Structure 1
Amino acid sequence: MTDTDYTPELATAARVKELAMGLWVSAMMMTAVQLRLPDEIDDKPVEAAELAARLDLHPEAVARLLRALAAHGVFAEPAEDRFAHTELSRVLREDHPHSVRYQVLWTVAPWTWRAWPHLEEAVRTGERVFPRLYGKEFFAYLAEDAPRSAEVFNRAMTQSSTFTSAMVAEALDMTGVRVVVDIGGGRGHLLRTVLERYPWLSGVLYDLPSVVASADPALRPGGELADRTRVVAGSCLDGVPPGDLYILKNLLEWDDERTVTTLRNVAAALRSGGRAVLVQNLVDDSPEPKVTTGMDLLLLLNVGGRKHTRRQLTRLLSEAGLEITDIRPTASSLFLIEVARRAPAAGA
């Protein structure tokens, strides 16, 4: 078939088939990353047979896998059965300064393969499917039954934070702030970045016990920032520690009830003054709409949550007694959304 034979109708059908094959591409990427094929390719093209020998794999199958990924721009095949890196494949290396290895592994974690086929049920009911499939809530499952998935999740969150923490820290207004509290701060990469940038600050890392148990060594006793840091285990659904500035980065992604509960706890803490900053994506302003809307559906499946539009977020904040005072973009897909306690209505 020549180029002139390939009609617009055929191109349209091919594109639709490519989209439907997305699951296959996920499996290809997961396999390549798990086998560490990206880590075995350096700056020069390498034979598939050589890669197979290093990793004890089947030579022809390695070539077929890399060729399939090369069709999507992940790797290149400059000569038959010889493969080289592209921009897309290079960031799959664990030693790349902007590695997405663990973000990819999290996207294709084992539990997701069981959850996605039930999207129709979630769309019909508007309810999460994870508890029915696994017999418990998502984060309880990670903590109790899936330590490897939990470790991948934590590493993925750290990788994601590594991309954006400096941008967020740069954009924060620290006027009048002495104590910053990172609510749901994971292992503390963002808090560490903030404390390093603003040496007069003290910080509180606040997250679940299973998470803060592996907090950044710099924040723990003996670390270089330990004298300015408290690591506190707890749940934002029960309350939040005292502070001058509260940071909630990509935290408000569960169902509306738990989101409002968290925001009310923040509002209660703001009674004595202070500010809160939500650091998150907005569906209607995202520079990464495919990623943001895909994550929105994943959150529906596992925790009954969502990514928010401005309107949705404004409504939830209002229910919690809060209001948006400022929204600022960062040099990433994240926005800084400053919130404060809503002023009482006139005459109230």
Structure 2
Amino acid sequence: MTSDVTANQVPACEGAPVIGPPAAQHVAELGWGMWASAAVQAAAQLGLADAVDDKPITVEELATAVGADASALTRLMRALVSFGIFRQEGPGRYSHSEASRAMRSDAPASLTDIMLTGGSWGWAMWGKLAESVRSGKCAFQETYGKDLFTYFHEDDNAAGEQCLRGYAAQSQAMNPGVVKALDLSGVATFCDVGGGHGSLVRSLLEGNPHVNAVLYDRPHAIDAALPELREGGSLGDRCELVIGDCFERVPAADVHLIRQVLHMWEDDACNTVLRNCVEAGHSGGRVVLLEQLVADPPETPWDALMDLHMLLVMGGWERTADEYRVMFERAGMEFTGVTPTGTPLRLIEGRIP
């Protein structure tokens, strides 16, 4: 027996007009897919899932709860129902489906935080893709005159916090695979460089009771670190929270982890951070990057799309395994290889001579 999720999974553009043979239709439907994405984003922004309880709700009640126009909301709900996000119980009456329950803020996967990671600025940047491809320049920097994290700090703290929550939710979903793949036997202390709220640190401490951790990031991230890392207890007593800038220094540790950070920067900036890790490490110490890899041709569309996202938002890029090998060697380390994690991330490792 299938759940209502599997029963109602439909392609984003099912029912679209047939405009040509399969190859042409495939391209057209990829293009139209932005409409479906916008509907899901709107549902997240409006908080529709949190406004529906266990009983069916009328569209008028739902519109009042989320501050929306009832007529326009009816049209949005119609689209969401067509994808299996909410059920329609009758004219203007809606209830939860498994998919809509997954969008509630109290759902385990924090799906809405993930959907809202990019905010309105993310939509705007993807609209500038052709422009960035022509120029080779970062759309965000060209638009705002500053990098993303400076923008968060100076212009939009709320967007920055939402982005960090989204990153943490995505991290949490991939952490089990990372914990299983990362060997910390014989390690006394690891440092998560640019570790955000500490989702990965928490998972690694839980999975490795013999290890201590250092969570290292800028003030806005450390100030919002997970409570179990900030407070005393089985995890907090084993975790040191340190504020700093990885371009200036990195705390000492046996293993330095850098998760989805270097792909945001050009090679010289990456070299600075890796050299700081070498200086803070010791002979035989390890530096482990958790990054996606890109190949020609790409293994998955996700790898290629993340590479474009870095072009638009940060000015960085996804790299090949060989490019990381060169990067480690330039920083004075031995490249020791790549380990899959069962997620889009790989463990890309170097060892200090």
TM-score, structure 1 normalization: 0.85
1:284: Cα distance to partner?
3.6
Q: Are 1:269 and 2:280 counterparts? A: yes
Q: Are 1:306 and 2:278 counterparts? A: no
Structure 2 CA distance for aligned equivalents of residues 81 and 13 of structure 1: 37
1:31-81 deviation digits (Å, cap 9, x = unpaired): 211211122345676543443344343333222112223444544557554
| Residue of 166, 169, 176 corresponding to 2:179 | 169
* 1:290 alignment counterpart: 301
1:229-260 deviation digits (Å, cap 9, x = unpaired): 21111122222111111111112112222122
Structure 2 CA distance for aligned equivalents of residues 75 and 335 of structure 1: 36
Q: Are 1:155 and 2:165 counterparts? A: yes
Equivalent residue letter for 1:295: M
* 1:60 alignment counterpart: 71
Of 240-249 and 223-232, deviating more is: 223-232
SS of residue in 2 equivalent to 1:168: helix
Identical-residue share of aligned pairs (%)? 38
Q: Are 1:32 and 2:40 counterparts? A: no
Contact 1:286–1:292 (CA<8 Å) still a contact in 2?
A: no
Q: Are 1:241 and 2:269 counterparts? A: no
Figure out how many residues of one structure are paired with residues of the other and give that number: 336
* 2:348 alignment counterpart: 337
Contact 2:248–2:276 (CA<8 Å) still a contact in 1?
A: yes
Structure 1 CA distance for aligned equivalents of residues 198 and 169 of structure 2: 12
1:178-234 deviation digits (Å, cap 9, x = unpaired): 111111111111112222222222110011122111111222254553332211111
Structure 2 CA distance for aligned equivalents of residues 301 and 314 of structure 1: 25
TM-score, structure 2 normalization: 0.84
Equivalent residue letter for 2:110: S
* 2:271 alignment counterpart: 260
Equivalent residue letter for 1:340: R
SS of residue in 2 equivalent to 1:9: coil
Q: Are 1:125 and 2:139 counterparts? A: no
Structure 2 CA distance for aligned equivalents of residues 287 and 161 of structure 1: 22
Contact 2:284–2:351 (CA<8 Å) still a contact in 1?
A: no
* 1:18 alignment counterpart: 29
- Structure 2 gap segments, 5+ residues each: 1-16
> CA 1:62–1:95 in structure 2 vs 1: closer, same or farther (change >3 Å)?
same
Structure 2 CA distance for aligned equivalents of residues 67 and 216 of structure 1: 38
SS of residue in 1 equivalent to 2:339: strand
> CA 1:89–1:260 in structure 2 vs 1: closer, same or farther (change >3 Å)?
farther
* 1:142 alignment counterpart: 152
Q: CA RMSD in A?
A: 2.8
Structure 2 CA distance for aligned equivalents of residues 219 and 333 of structure 1: 26
Structure 1 CA distance for aligned equivalents of residues 229 and 184 of structure 2: 20
